[in-house]
Structure 1
């Protein structure tokens, strides 16, 4: 079965962030490293640009999603993220 990410170019990992958030910067660095190693794409989204995201995730950022499902918040464990990306 072909990897849908390879066909569509869609990012498998999403990181919700907020400007000035040191935890967000650390999380994005880990996600970037893991995605580079695994050949997956990621994207970030600033929650301050979306009132619904801001309301839902203010106290949990950074929040990471893998394939649309919430994976983690606050910190990203590289081994756990790699394992999640390998499952699909």
Structure 2
């Protein structure tokens, strides 16, 4: 029983971690195309980690990450939905 309590105490911080999202800007060349999007990030919730997580996802789809605008929790999703359009939670 004691071991179960210790295990749960160690596990609790990872279960309590809030969802993390990033809004970003990306581009394609030839012809030049730009897009703004919002993505869920499964990494620490900071700009550097978000860039590291998002860069390969965008690259696989033919996009180059330009910048992470910001990172935020679920409270910031709705206000960005219209701006991101089809790139809302796409990558």
Q: TM-score range by the shorter chain?
A: 0.3 to 0.5
Instruction: Answer 1 or 2: which has greater strand percent.
Output: 2
TM-score with structure 2 setting the length: 0.33
**Rg larger for:** 2
